[in-house]
A and B are shown apart, each in its own frame.
Chain A
């Protein structure tokens, strides 16, 4: 069995913890509870008939004063950058993080996840922006931790990208 470390990154309150909870425990809570520091969850998946233990590092979200500790990111094999579709500013945070990650760790696999797809009527991010990001080669998913939409797919896709 191989182990792969994945870091969940993004602005605060975008749904990083909820995505991990949905994926690992099939749970969802409407109540927003902030993450301080880092929580690690595990999930065993199969990629090409090979067992892969995903170590999911759920990091505290970024805000004006709290930036991601780079020490948490050491040894990562991939990243999930989470964006809240209802808050445009969270896309800027994610793109900025991605830029910094590439500068510090080189080209590691990553996925852009536009979360809160269940609130699509309240989205500030327009489909054109998402299509533009896809067109420039990014792997993009629209997900909902609440309904489970695309949650499995996000983690499995990244697992495949990391192993291959």
Chain B
């Protein structure tokens, strides 16, 4: 049991600058009481025994509560005020508590705006790089870059009875993989049969190519676990190889194509033959570059 001065202090802190206000509704959805700083939220002219959802439309469909309480975080009441709305049941009524979160919301908006702007920027960069790989008239200045190659093999497609279903599944897989790879600053470079090759280290990133590739591989398995993609298919086998390679472009049929020359892609494809479903098999040299926490990841294995 906490001493009452401590409890008072905690309560004082919890409601300081939060303009607490409350409303009470009976189980028929009629307003039966209110109090606190309702004017802060622009709530006025309330009428007793009238439907609460008509007077306060944000409560439409929410009352009466059946059993559990409900929190609506950061609900904007007008251009200037936002509140966390807590709705909780009592024996014969429901309580609605409003707590001002305007200042917290302002901070969160600034953070979220930055995050979303950066994400859009990155998605845009990925798109540009993808376009770059198919530029018709311009070539890339060749350079030596550290890249990571992720080679992913989808197994079990031929076991699906209907060819339409098999290809529909394959399409879903490719879309999901492409977006996860893009999220980790990679690009899907090539698809040969059921083998998907993604490259990391071309799109600018604050992280290293190998870290991005491993993160993408882990996230691909997570996405598959969470989605319907796993139905009827065994999980893919993923291989990751990282090394320095030549990056440039070649011209074929009047178009320039992005090209990576070096041993990484060949090595990845070769190791892929030994890869097992649900595993991320990392070649020996690349494995040594991984952080210890990743080396211990249950799905990551060293190719020896």
Interface residues of A (CB under 8 A from B): 3-5, 12-13, 32-34, 36-40, 42, 53, 55, 60-61, 63-64, 66, 69, 71-72, 74-77, 87-89, 92, 96, 99, 124
Q: List 14 A-B contacts (CB under 8 A).
A: A32-B116, A32-B117, A36-B108, A36-B112, A37-B76, A37-B82, A38-B76, A42-B57, A53-B57, A69-B73, A88-B178, A88-B179, A89-B179, A89-B182
1/0 per residue, CB under 8 A from A, across B216-232: the answer is 00000000000110000
User: When A38-B74, A74-B70 are in contact, do A55 and B182 touch as well, CB less than 8 Å?
Assistant: no
A64 near B183 with CB under 8 A, answer yes
Q: Say whether B43 faces chain A, with CB atoms less than 8 Å apart.
A: no
A63 near B179 with CB under 8 A, answer no
Q: Say whether B113 faces chain A, with CB atoms less than 8 Å apart.
A: yes
User: When A12-B116, A69-B73 are in contact, do A77 and B105 touch as well, CB less than 8 Å?
Assistant: no
Per the bound structure, the CA–CA distance linking A42 and B76 in Å amounts to 13
Task: Spot the interface stretch: B16-24, B58-66, B250-258, B267-275.
Answer: B58-66
Per DSSP, chain A at the interface is loop
B123 near A3 with CB under 8 A, answer no
Most chain A CB within a 10 A radius of its CB, from B71, B115, B116: B116
Per the bound structure, the CA–CA distance linking A142 and B109 in Å amounts to 29
User: When A71-B70, A88-B175 are in contact, do A77 and B61 touch as well, CB less than 8 Å?
Assistant: yes
Other A-B contacts than A36-B74, A36-B109, A124-B127, 17 sampled, CB-CB below 8 A, are: A4-B60, A5-B61, A12-B116, A13-B120, A33-B113, A34-B116, A38-B72, A40-B58, A55-B57, A55-B58, A55-B60, A63-B115, A69-B73, A74-B61, A76-B61, A89-B179, A89-B183
Per the bound structure, the CA–CA distance linking A81 and B43 in Å amounts to 31
1/0 per residue, CB under 8 A from A, across B165-190: the answer is 00000000001101100110000000
B70 near A37 with CB under 8 A, answer no
Chain B residues with CB under 8 Å of A12's CB are 116, 119
Chain B residues with CB under 8 Å of A42's CB are 57
Q: Which 4 A-B pairs have the closest CB atoms?
A: A75-B61, A37-B74, A89-B179, A39-B76
